[in-house]
Amino acid sequence: MPGTNFEDSLRREPYTEPRRVTVQQVEQIKERVAQGERKKNHFKWLIPVLLSLTVLIGVSWFNLPFMQSPKAAESKAITMPSEERTLRIINKFDPDKTRSIIHQELLDNRQILVLTKVIKSDEKTTVWEAGVLNEEEGSLKWLKKGEVTTPFISREQYEKLTEKGVTDTLTHAFVPLTNANGRTLVIGTSIDPHTNSIDITDSNNNVYKARKIQASLLWYTFLPEKQQSQYRYEPSEEVVTGK
């Protein structure tokens, strides 16, 4: 009688006759069981690998520049430009060949404070501007916030002014611009050559130092939000460096 497959015989119903399991058939069963275990083991390590690859691809995708959220993009600090570049940017929005950069500093991650000087020969005045460079859509844009003006004066006029006392030669203006601490910018000028800074005292006798920019008449500082009339201004020979 020709040999038949043992498993095929088991599948037949009804069984035509009892069959004895041979050694060869037992070995076949063992081999099939072993093959099934090996397939299970393959799946055991394959599934974690596929999950890991999925996570890595997802992380890489969301880290692409175009997938970053606006909040993540804003966390990158603005880069301080050179004075030459700052001047080109400002003159692009408000052209003036007499303009020069007096000072610039970072206000926060998105803004740069810029102080400038503009000569108005026809009006015989000097305009001291305060504004910011904002980064918008990958480029810097200029926004003027305020200014103070000083007239041209002759040597004789200068001597008469300084004779009255330095306080009479002080000018100032509050600018609608705040720093990272929420303080408001105030800028001013002093023509006295001996004035290196300004002492600003509030109604509670708190004193704030305003820095006078060297080789310039301009001084500035940031003050807490209060009534402007609550501050007194006095010149000082103390040199204030830094911000």
Q: What are the 10-residue block averages of pLDDT along the chain, 243 residues in total?
A: 53 51 61 59 56 60 52 66 96 96 92 96 95 89 95 81 62 89 92 87 93 89 85 89 65
The count of other CB atoms within 10 Å of the CB of residue 68 is 14
**What is the C-alpha separation between 176 and 186, in angstroms, rounded?**
9
Residues in contact with 53: Cβ distance below 8 Å, sequence separation at least 6, in sequence order: none
Rounded CA gap, 119 and 108, in Å?
Answer: 29
pLDDT of residue 60: 57
pLDDT value at residue 229? 81
Question: Do the beta carbons of residue 218 and residue 117 sit within 8 Å?
Answer: yes
Say what the pLDDT of residue 72 is: 45
Q: Are the C-beta atoms of 169 and 157 separated by less than 8 Å?
A: no
Beta strand 125-136 with 218-223 is unpaired
DSSP secondary structure, 153-218, as one string = --HHHHHHHHHT-GGGG-EEEEEEEE-TTSPEEEEEE---TT--EEEEE-TT--EEEEEEPTTSSE
